[in-house]
Amino acid sequence: MAGPRMIVLGLLLLAFCAHCISPTGSVIIPSSCCMSFTSKKIQENRVVSYQVANRSVCPKAGVIFTTKKGLKFCGDPKQAWVQKYIRNLDAKRKRSSSGPRPVGVKGVIQRHCGNNTAF
């Protein structure tokens, strides 16, 4: 009879210890969230993409910009420069995904009979 009682008591003790160890009110925050915003404006020509971190998953709504070197910066979506970068990146993405662009000829090469000079 002592065997089943010890098992139940051990399980209760284990459940109690697990409850004591885990922090109460702990929140798991995804790595794609902004904890703070950059205080300086990033150079626009260095930014290659962005991702929106929304309030439904993150403590702060923000925009995560990725640079050519792979660095990530959080911008405040209320800032004018952040909104401008988003518009420009969306426009660039739209242009590049609109299909193949026609290749234009920059100059006409003419050959003259007397020599092999190209103009």
What is d(CA 29, CA 57) in angstroms, rounded to the nearest whole number? 8
pLDDT in the model for residue 107: 46
Domain definitions of the chain by residue range: 29-37+44-92
DSSP state of 12: H
pLDDT in the model for residue 2: 63
Is-contact 63 82, C-beta < 8 A?
yes
pLDDT in the model for residue 87: 96
pTM of the model: 0.57
Q: What is the mean pLDDT of each run of 10 residues along the chain (119 residues)?
A: 67 52 49 87 94 86 94 94 96 82 51 45
72-75, strands of its sheet edge to edge: 47-53, 62-67, 72-75
pLDDT in the model for residue 3: 75
pLDDT in the model for residue 4: 72
What is d(CA 24, CA 50) in angstroms, rounded to the nearest whole number? 34
Pick the CATH number of 29-37+44-92 from 3.40.30.10, 2.40.30.110, 2.30.110.10, 2.40.50.40: 2.40.50.40
pLDDT in the model for residue 68: 95
Is-contact 77 62, C-beta < 8 A?
yes
How deeply is 34 buried, as exposed, middle or buried, from its count of CB atoms within 10 A (0-12, 13-18, 19+)? buried
pLDDT in the model for residue 84: 97
